[in-house]
Structure 1
Amino acid sequence: MVPSSSASAPVLTLIDASGFIFRAYHAIPPLSTSKGVPTNAALGFARMVLKTLKDLKPTHIALAFDKDSRAERQKIDPNYKAHREGPPEDLVPQFELIRRVADVLNLPILEMPGWEADDVIGTLATRAKAEGFCVQVVTGDKDFIQIVDQDVRLFDPMKDVHTGPDEVKARLGIEPKQMRDYLALIGDAVDNIPKVPGIGPKTAVELLQQFGDVNGLLARLDEVKKPKIREALSTHREGLLKAWQLVAFKTDLELKVTIPELARRPIDTARAKQLFTELEFYRLVNELPEDTAAPKPVEPAVPMAPAQLVTTEQELQALADAARKDGALFLVPAYEGMPFTAPLVGLGLALADGRTAYVPLRHQVLGSTQVAPARFSAVMGELLADPQVKKGGHDLKALSLVLSNAGMTLKGAHDDVELLSYLLNPSRREHALTDLSRERLNTELAALPAVTEGKKGRALADHNPEEISTAYASRADAARKLAPKLWEDLEGVALAKLARELELPLLPVLAQMERRGVKLDTAVLQTISTKVDAECEGKIQNIHKLAGREFNVGSNPQLTQVLYTDLGLPVLKRGKTGPSTDQEVLEKLAEQHPLPGAILEYRSLSKLKSTYLDTLPTLVARDGRIHTTYHQAATATGRLSSSDPNLQNIPVRTELGREIRRAFVAEPGHQLVSADYSQVELRLLAHIAEDPVLIDAFERDEDIHSRTAAEIFGVTPDKVDRDQRRVAKTVNFGIAYGLSPHGLSTRLSIPVEEARDIIERYFTRYAGIRRYLEETVERARKTGYVETMFGRRRLMADLHAKNRQIAQAAERAAINMPIQGTAADLIKKAMLEVDEALTRQKLRTVMLLQVHDELLFEAPDEEVETVKELARRCMSSVATLKVPLKVDVGAGKTWADAH
C-alpha cells in the first residue's frame, strides 16, 4: 500500500531500526552460533528487513537508529527513561552484528547523537514531503501516529498492518495530529513520562474531541465537566506541558544526507551470503531477493576448472582410468525425487588432479548427445564397486541409492563432506555444500536447476546437459577441495577414527535399509483410523460439554475466547496474537479446570491421526512398503533421525502407538524380529558416573525404578507402591537431562519444595551421579566440549553465555550428551556388527528399521531363532561396561507382536 496523495509520487521508506532490534530480540528465543555468539536479535532483524524489502519494494530507504538517545530529552526532564536498565547482556554484542547486516544489505544507517530514531524519522519525513515524496514508516510503535497524514503512513511488518489517517480515526477516535496531545495526557510508564491522574485513553479521546489539543484544553479548563478531571489538569499543568514536549518528535535535525541519496541500492549478495553463513543463518541465504547486485568476487577465490561434457564411451573410459590411477573419485548425482526410486539423470565428477566433468545419462532434450546408461554401467560399474578407489561427495548415501537404481554398487565411501563437517560440529543446523564452499573455500557455487530447489520449473531431465553441467561438476570439485582440510581438522580433535570406523561404514547399511523399506498393511491402518475418528468425535463432544457451548476446537482464537473470556481462566503467557494456548499453558490450566486437559487429549489423538493414520498410506511405494530416509548429520548427540515418514516418533507405550505398529507387517513366510536395548541410557549413566548403588542394581537385574524408589523413600523394594515407582521412574529418566526441581514438580504435579526434597534424597543415595553431573559441566566449561565413550564431541560454547536461560540449557545438554551420544554410538556399532554377522552367515534376513535403541529385522521363518540369538549376542557385546548390556528380543508377524 503506497502512502500517497499522488499515485505517481516517489516513496521514501524509513525503518525504525532500534524498534526492530528490540522486537526481534524478544520475539525469537535465545539463539547462538555453534561458536557461542548470540544471534537471535540479528536474525530477527535480518528477517524483518528482508520482509520489508520484499513486501514494500522501496525505491528510497533508510534505517534510523538511536544514539545516546536520552540525552536531549533529559535536558527537559532528567527522569526521562532514567529508570530503564541497559540492554540485556546477550543483546549488546549483537548491535555490531546488526550494523554488519545493514551494511551487506546496502541500507544506509542514519542517527544523530542525543536523539532517538523517532526524531531521525520525523526529520526525514518532513524533508521528504517538502521534496514531493510520500513516506512509509516501518514500525510497531504507536508514537509514530503523530506524523501520519495523507503523505505519511505506517506499516507494522509483524502484524502486516498499514496505518493511515482513516485507520487512526477508526481505531482511536482522534486525528493523527492529536496523537501528541493524547500521549501527553495518558503518559508513558515505559519512558517514565507521568500521566495526568485520572485520565486514561477513553477520557483523553473525549477531551481531545471536545477541545482539539492540549493548548485548547488548558485555555478552556472551566469547560471541563468533571471536577476531578478539571482539578487534575489544573494541578498538573506544568507536568502536562513537559510531557507534551517529551513526546513530540524533533523534525529539524541537521542530518547530513539528502533524500535522493537514499535511493535503494542492490544488496551486496556475495557479502550477504558470506555474513549469513558466518552467523549460521543458512535458510536466509536462500531467501535473499533475486534482484540483487552482481556478486563481487570474494578473495581469495578458488578458480574452477572448466567442466568436460562427457558424451562418448572413450571419454568416459579415460575418466575411469584416471580415477583408478589416482585412487579417488568425487561424484555428485543429478536426480530429483526420493533417492531410493529416483533415476540417475547425470553425474558430476571431479578427479584428484582438478579436472571436472559432467556425464549426461537420461536427458530428454532432442538433439542432446549423452552416454547410454548401460554403457555407463559397463565402463564405471567395476570402478564404483571397487573399495580401493576412494569415493567422495556430499551425502554419499543418496548417491549409493541412486546408483543402485541404475544397477550399480557404490563401495569405498570415504570423503562424505557432509558427514565430516557434521562430526566437527554436530550442533550446526545445516551442512549444505553451498554453505561449506562459501565458508571454507570462499567460493559461490553455481545454482542448481530450479526444480531441485522446490520451485516451479522444468523436470531435471528436460534441461540441456550444457545448462546444468557446471552446477554438478563444480559441486563434485568443491567436495574434492573440502575433504582434505576436513580430515585434517578431524585428526586434530581425534574424531577421524569415529568417521572411518563408525559413520562412513554405516552408509551402505542405512542405504540398504532405506532401499528395502518395511511392509505396511493399509487395511489395518484404515480400521484404526475409523476407530480413532469416532474417538476424536467423542472427545470433541466432551470438550463442548465442558465448555458449555460448541466451538471450533482447532481454532486458537475460539479456544482463547472459551478459556479466558467464557471460563475466566488466568492468562499465564501471551504470544504474538494474544493469550497462549500452547501445551505448557494448557497443562497448568488443567489443574484448575477439566477443559484444558480434554483439549490436550484431543490434540494428541488428532496429531497421531494426521501424522500417521492419514499420512502413512499416502507414502506407500509401488512395492507396498514404506521407505523412510535416515539422516546421520542431523542431531547434536549423534542419534539417527528419520523423515518421510518419521518412524521414530510413534509412541511406544500408548495403546494407539501399539495399534499403529500392528500395521507394520512381515512378508508371507517371514517374521519381524525386534531387538531393543533395555534401559540403555540408565545403564550408561551407571557406567560413566561409576555410581556403586546404580551398578549394583543392574548387576542384580533388579527393577531399577523400584530400587530407586526404595532408596528415595527409605523402604524395601517389595514395599514400593505404584506412585513411589512412578516418581522414581520420572527422576531416573530425568536426571540424565538435567531435571530441575521445577521440572519435576511440573511433571508430577507436586509442590516445588517436595520435588527439591526428592531430588536431594536421590543424590544422597546416588552420590556418584551428583559428582558426574557437577564434574561434567565443569570440565565442559574448561575444555569447551563434551564427548562420548567413543570420542564423539559436541561443542558447548553456550556454557559461557551471559543469558542465563541459554547457559542453563547448555548445562543440561552437557550432562545429557555423553549418555545419549554414547547410546547413539552403541546402536550404530550394533548395526554394523549385526549386518556383518548376517552377511558372514549368509542369512537372508534384512535389517529394516532403527528406532531409538531398537533394531527391527525381517527374517524368513526358518531364520527367526537364529537371528534372535545373533542380534542379542552382537548387541550385548559391542562395548564392555561396568553393568550388563541387556537386549530384549521378540518376534512376530507384526511390529507390535515383535516388540
Structure 2
Amino acid sequence: MDPKKLVLIDGHSILNRAFYGIPELTNSEGIHTNAVYGFLNILFKILDEEKADYLAVAFDLSAPTFRHEMFPEYKGTRKGMPDELREQVPVMKEVLNAMGVKIVEKAGYEADDILGTLAQKSEKEGLEVSVVSGDRDLLQLATEHIKIRIPKTKRTGTEIEDYYEKDVVEKYQINPKQIIELKALMGDSSDNIPGLPGVGEKTATKIIVEYGNIENAFDHVELIKPNRAKEAFKEHFAQAEMSKKLATICTECDIDFQIEELKIGLLYTEDAYLLFKRLDFKNLLTRFNCDVPVYSVEENFKYVSDLNQVEEIFEKGQNSKNASIVLIGGNHLLGAALEYSDEETFFIGVEGFVTEEYLLEKVEKLLEQIDQVGVLDLKHELKFLNDKERNNIYDLGIAAYLLNPLRNSYLYDEIAKDYLGMLIPSKEDLLGKASLEEAFNQKEEFTKFACYCAYVAFKAMPVLIDKLKETEMFSLYQTIEMPLIYTLYHMETYGVKVEKEALEQYGQQLKIRIDELEKIIYEQAEEQFNINSPKQLGVVLFEKLKMPHAKKTKTGYSTAADVLEKLAADYPIVSNILEYRQLSKLKSTYADGLANYIQDDLRIHSTFNQTITATGRISSTEPNLQNIPIRMDLGRLIRKVFIPEKDYVFLDADYSQIELRVLAHMSGDEMLIKAYNEAQDIHRITASQVFHIPFEEVTSLQRSNAKAVNFGIVYGISSFGLSQGLSISRKEAADYIQKYFETYPKIKGFLDKLVEEGKANGYICSVFGRRRPIPELSSSNFMQRSFGERVAMNSPIQGTAADIIKIAMIRVDQELRRQGLKSRLVLQVHDELLVEAYKDELSMVKEILSEEMKNAAKLDVTLEIEMNQGQNWYETK
C-alpha cells in the first residue's frame, strides 16, 4: 500500500511569487487579484501532480517570533509588502477557508518553522511530504521523504524545481543541513540575515564543502582562501554565528495538530464557486462540478407557450411603466423574456401557435406603450425588431460599459454581480457550450437563462441609470451611445461589397512577391531555412551572419520587429525579411482571410463593437476592417477590392488632425489655436517655432521631426520613445520636447493637470464627460504608474476625438435616412467615414458629410475634413 501524501504550502512566499510573476489583475470591484490567481494556479498544479491526501497552508503572523527575542535587531521577513499584495492576503485566506483548506499560523513562529515542524512530524508518521515555497532556506528540510518544491510563476505558466536530499547534494555539493551553514556565510538580504561581508555563494560553497560547518572553518581560519574571506571570518564571525541561528528552521514548534485535520475534502464547494465568480476567475470555474447554487428568484421564473397565457401576459404589460424585454435567438427568434414587476419573470418560447411573427408583433406593440424598457444588447435585438429609434429603451450593457470601460464583457451575470450584488449562474453555467438553438430543448435550464437575462435587465435598469446620472454620463449615454447603436446596426446590415476575383488576384500578386523574397533571402543567407521560425532565423542572423543587437532568450535569439528594424538599414537581408513578414501577414489575414467573410450578397458584414476600448473608440471584428494596412503600397492596394454597387460611388471623408485640434481646444493654448484657425501647416509652424527658423525655410526633415513631436505629445511620448522614432540621441529628443513646451506653454500645464486629476480622482474625462478609470496611477510599480500617466494624458484627447466621430456618424446616418436617400454609411475607420453614395445624390451626400462632420462639436478650433470619391476604396485616399 502506497504511503499517504501531505502537501505543505508557504502561504506568503507563494503569494509573493505569484504577485510578481503575473501582471496586475483586478476584479470588477477593483480588488487586486493577481497574487491569489497565481497562488491558485500553483496550488491546483501541485495537487494535480501529487494526488495528495492532506494539505495545509502556513502563514506568518505579524507578532514577534522567538528570533526577535534572540536578536532584537532581526526585522522578520514580510515587511515592505506592496499595498496591492497586502490587500490580497485576507482574500487568499477567505478563498482557502471556502475550499476547506487548513490554514496554520501561530504567534511566535514564522511560516518556515511551522512548515518544518509539520514536515518532520509527518515524516515520522510515515507520510510522504511535499513542501512548496519560493524560499530556498527550506532546502535544509529535504530528506528521502520530504521533497521541497520551488515554483516559478511566468506568463507562460508555472515551472517547478523539485529537491529531495540527493537533488540538493547534486546541485549545491552539500547536504540539506549544510544549507544553514551556507546561509550563515552568504546571508540573505530579503530575510535581514547579514552573513559575512564580501563572501558570495561560490566562496561560501567551497568553504562548507571543505570544512563542513562554520565552526570548523573558523578553527582553520588561517587556511581559508581567498584572503578577503579569511579576514571576514576573523572580524565578523559572531555575525555569521547569529546568521546561522537565524537561518535555522525550528522543527519542534509547539503546534498541536492531528493529521486528519489536514485531510483534503471537497475543495470545489458552493462557497468557493461563488467566491471565484466574485473574483472573476472564470478560467478556474471549469474545475467545479458542484451544482450551481439555486436562488430564490428562480421560483418566479415561468416558461409560457400557451397562446391564451401569452395574451394575458402582454395585456398585463400594457399597464406597466417599466419593463425588461430580452429577445433570445441567433439567426431565428427562439423566444422573448419579459418582466414587469418583482413578482414574475416570463420566457415565451416560439412554439405552436406562438409564432415568431406573432411574438414580434406583440413585442413591437408593447414597446410603444411602456415608459422605460431595459434590454441587454439592443443591437442584437434590432435583428428581430424594426429599426425605429426609440427613446424609451435602455441598453444596460452599454450603460455598464460607460461606468466601467475596463471590463472585457458586460454579460447579465456580471451586471448582476457589479450592480445588484448578486452572484447568479452564467449562460455557460446553465447551458454549457451548446448554441442557443441546441440548448433550446433543455427547457428548464434555458428558461432560467432567459429569465435571468430579463430579471437582471429589469432590476439593474434604475440602478445603472442613477449611476450614470451620479457620474454625469447620462447625457453622453442618451445623446451619443444609445443613438450610435442604430447607426452601427445599419452599417452592419448594409456591409460593404467586395470584388471576389480582385481579392484572389491580389492574393496571387502577394504570393509572387513572397516567393521572390524567399529566394532572395535564401541567397543572401547562403542556405535554406524556415523564415517563419524565430529560432532558425535567429541562428542565421546572429550566429552565422554575426549581426549586432542580439538579444538571447531562453528559446533562442529575439527576432522581434524592434530588433530587426535596427538592422534593416545596414543589412538588406533583414529589410527583405521584414517585407516578407508583412506580405505574409497581408496574405493570410486579408487576401485569404477576408474571402471567408464574403456572404451570399457579395458583401462583408463586419461587426462594430461599442464596448471594447477603454477610450470609447469603436472597434471592428469578424473581420477587422479598421486594421487594413495603408502605410505600405502593397498593403494599401487591398482597398481596391472594396467597391460600391452599380450606380454608386464611394465618398470618403477623413478628419484632419482631429486629436491635435482637440489638444488645442482642451489645453486652451493660444498659439496652437491661432495656427489652426489661420489654416496654417501645423507641423511646419511647429518646426519654425521649435527650431527658431523662418516658416518658409523649414526643411522636409524638420517638418517631419516636428510632426513626430506633435503627435507624440498627444500620446505622452518620452524622450526615449521620441529618440527611437527619429533615430536621434535621447538628449536631442529631450531638447525637442522641451522646446515644444516652450513654444506651446499651456500644453505642458494641461498635461500635468490631467495626471494630477487622474491621481486625485482615479479617472479622467473627455470633453463630453466620458470617464476612463486609471488604476495604474496608484500602483506601487513604477512602470505601471508611468503607463498610467501616459493614459491620463492621452485618453481625454482620444476619448473626445472618439466622441466627435461618433456624433458625426450618427448625424450622417440620420440625415441620409431622414431625406430618404439611397446612399448609406458603410464603414468607419478611426477618423474616417466611408459612404456608398448613389451617383444622383452625390452633391447632397457631400453636403451632408461636410455639414455634419465639421459641426459635430463646437471647439475653439475649426474641425476640417478631407473628402475624396472613387470607384473603389483605394481611389478615395
TM > 0.5 between the two? yes
Offset, 1:482: 0.5
8 Å Cα contact 1:676-1:854 kept in structure 2: yes
- Distance (whole Å) between structure 1 residues aligned to residue 6 and residue 353 of structure 2: 54
- Distance (whole Å) between structure 2 residues aligned to residue 245 and residue 549 of structure 1: 61
- SS of 2:615's partner is coil
Aligned counterpart in structure 1 of residue 488 of structure 2, from 505, 510, 514: 510
Offset, 1:724: 1.2
- Distance (whole Å) between structure 2 residues aligned to residue 83 and residue 164 of structure 1: 23
Q: Tell me which moved more, 243-252 or 501-510.
A: 243-252
| Aligned residue identity for 1:262 | L
Offset, 1:489: 1.6
Q: What does 1:34-45 align with in structure 2 at a 5 Å threshold?
A: 38-45=32-39
Q: Is 2:287 aligned against 1:287?
A: no
Aligned counterpart in structure 1 of residue 356 of structure 2, from 373, 397, 405: 373
Q: Is 2:455 aligned against 1:477?
A: yes
| Aligned residue identity for 2:186 | G
Offset, 1:346: 2.9
Aligned counterpart in structure 1 of residue 498 of structure 2, from 520, 525, 549: 520
Q: Which residue of 1 aligns with 2:151?
A: 156
8 Å Cα contact 1:155-1:163 kept in structure 2: yes
- SS of 2:427's partner is coil
Q: Which residue of 2 aligns with 1:427?
A: 406
Q: Tell me which moved more, 755-764 or 46-55.
A: 46-55
Q: What does 1:172-571 align with in structure 2 at a 5 Å threshold?
A: 172=171, 177=176, 180=179, 183-184=182-183, 187=186, 190-191=189-190, 194=195, 204=205, 214=213, 228=225, 236=233, 247-267=247-267, 272=272, 281-282=279-280, 284-285=281-282, 287-291=284-288, 303-336=297-330, 342-352=331-341, 354-361=343-350, 371-383=354-366, 386=368, 390-401=372-383, 403=384, 411=390, 414-448=393-427, 455=433, 460-461=438-439, 463-533=441-511, 535-536=513-514, 552-555=530-533, 567=546
8 Å Cα contact 1:556-1:581 kept in structure 2: yes
Q: Which residue of 2 aligns with 1:669?
A: 647
- SS of 1:857's partner is strand
Per-residue displacement from partner, 1:719-755 (whole Å, max 9, x unpaired)? 2222212211111112122222232223223222221
Aligned counterpart in structure 2 of residue 765 of structure 1, from 728, 743, 756: 743
Offset, 1:838: 0.7
| Aligned residue identity for 2:338 | L
Change (3 A) 1:232 1:879: closer
8 Å Cα contact 2:318-2:369 kept in structure 1: no
| Aligned residue identity for 1:307 | F
8 Å Cα contact 1:136-1:155 kept in structure 2: no
Per-residue displacement from partner, 1:4-59 (whole Å, max 9, x unpaired)? xx6x3332222232222222222234455677665543443344445555665644
Per-residue displacement from partner, 1:442-492 (whole Å, max 9, x unpaired)? 333344356965x36895256232331112112211110001111112122
Change (3 A) 1:89 1:373: closer
Q: Which residue of 1 aligns with 2:636?
A: 658
Q: Is 2:871 aligned against 1:888?
A: no
- Distance (whole Å) between structure 2 residues aligned to residue 484 and residue 21 of structure 1: 40
Per-residue displacement from partner, 1:596-621 (whole Å, max 9, x unpaired)? 87766655554444433342222333
Offset, 1:679: 0.9
8 Å Cα contact 2:184-2:241 kept in structure 1: no
Q: What does 1:521-670 align with in structure 2 at a 5 Å threshold?
A: 521-533=499-511, 535-536=513-514, 552-555=530-533, 567=546, 603-670=581-648
Change (3 A) 1:457 1:51: farther
Change (3 A) 1:321 1:505: farther
| Aligned residue identity for 1:23 | R
- What is the RMSD of the two structures over their aligned residues, measured on CA atoms? 4.3
Change (3 A) 1:658 1:491: same
Offset, 1:876: 1.0
Q: Which runs of 5+ in 2 are unaligned?
A: none
Tell me the TM-score normalised to structure 1 length: 0.84
- Distance (whole Å) between structure 2 residues aligned to residue 231 and residue 798 of structure 1: 46
Q: Which runs of 5+ in 1 are unaligned?
A: 1-5, 337-341, 363-368
- SS of 1:345's partner is strand
Q: Tell me which moved more, 232-241 or 473-482.
A: 232-241
8 Å Cα contact 1:450-1:457 kept in structure 2: no
- Distance (whole Å) between structure 1 residues aligned to residue 625 and residue 800 of structure 2: 22
Offset, 1:886: 0.9
Q: Which residue of 2 aligns with 1:11?
A: 5
| Aligned residue identity for 1:415 | Y
Q: Which residue of 2 aligns with 1:789?
A: 767
Q: Is 2:818 aligned against 1:818?
A: no
- SS of 1:325's partner is coil
- Distance (whole Å) between structure 2 residues aligned to residue 285 and residue 112 of structure 1: 34
- Distance (whole Å) between structure 2 residues aligned to residue 602 and residue 265 of structure 1: 56
Per-residue displacement from partner, 1:168-198 (whole Å, max 9, x unpaired)? 3797385874773794598355555647988
| Aligned residue identity for 2:162 | T
Change (3 A) 1:196 1:286: closer
Q: Tell me which moved more, 459-468 or 768-777.
A: 459-468
- SS of 2:497's partner is strand
Q: Which residue of 2 aligns with 1:87?
A: 81
- Distance (whole Å) between structure 1 residues aligned to residue 241 and residue 160 of structure 2: 32
Q: Is 2:674 aligned against 1:718?
A: no
Change (3 A) 1:841 1:695: same
| Aligned residue identity for 2:340 | L
Offset, 1:161: 3.8
- Distance (whole Å) between structure 2 residues aligned to residue 559 and residue 142 of structure 1: 38
- Distance (whole Å) between structure 2 residues aligned to residue 608 and residue 112 of structure 1: 62
- SS of 2:822's partner is coil
- SS of 1:319's partner is helix
Per-residue displacement from partner, 1:793-835 (whole Å, max 9, x unpaired)? 2344554444443333333222222221111111111111111
8 Å Cα contact 1:48-1:157 kept in structure 2: no
Change (3 A) 1:409 1:691: closer
- Distance (whole Å) between structure 1 residues aligned to residue 95 and residue 677 of structure 2: 58
- SS of 2:861's partner is coil
Change (3 A) 1:671 1:871: same
8 Å Cα contact 2:334-2:440 kept in structure 1: no
Q: Tell me which moved more, 199-208 or 753-762.
A: 199-208
| Aligned residue identity for 1:896 | Y
8 Å Cα contact 1:73-1:246 kept in structure 2: yes
- Distance (whole Å) between structure 2 residues aligned to residue 408 and residue 234 of structure 1: 87
- Distance (whole Å) between structure 2 residues aligned to residue 354 and residue 671 of structure 1: 55
8 Å Cα contact 1:185-1:204 kept in structure 2: no
| Aligned residue identity for 2:347 | Y
Q: Which residue of 1 aligns with 2:846?
A: 868
Change (3 A) 1:626 1:752: same
- Distance (whole Å) between structure 2 residues aligned to residue 568 and residue 142 of structure 1: 39
8 Å Cα contact 1:490-1:496 kept in structure 2: yes
- Distance (whole Å) between structure 2 residues aligned to residue 769 and residue 231 of structure 1: 57
8 Å Cα contact 1:681-1:820 kept in structure 2: yes
Tell me the TM-score normalised to structure 2 length: 0.86
Provide the aligned length of Structure 1 versus Structure 2.
866
Identity of paired residues, percent?
32
Offset, 1:350: 1.8
- Distance (whole Å) between structure 1 residues aligned to residue 611 and residue 592 of structure 2: 28
- Distance (whole Å) between structure 2 residues aligned to residue 220 and residue 120 of structure 1: 34
| Aligned residue identity for 1:729 | K
Offset, 1:710: 1.2
- SS of 2:858's partner is coil
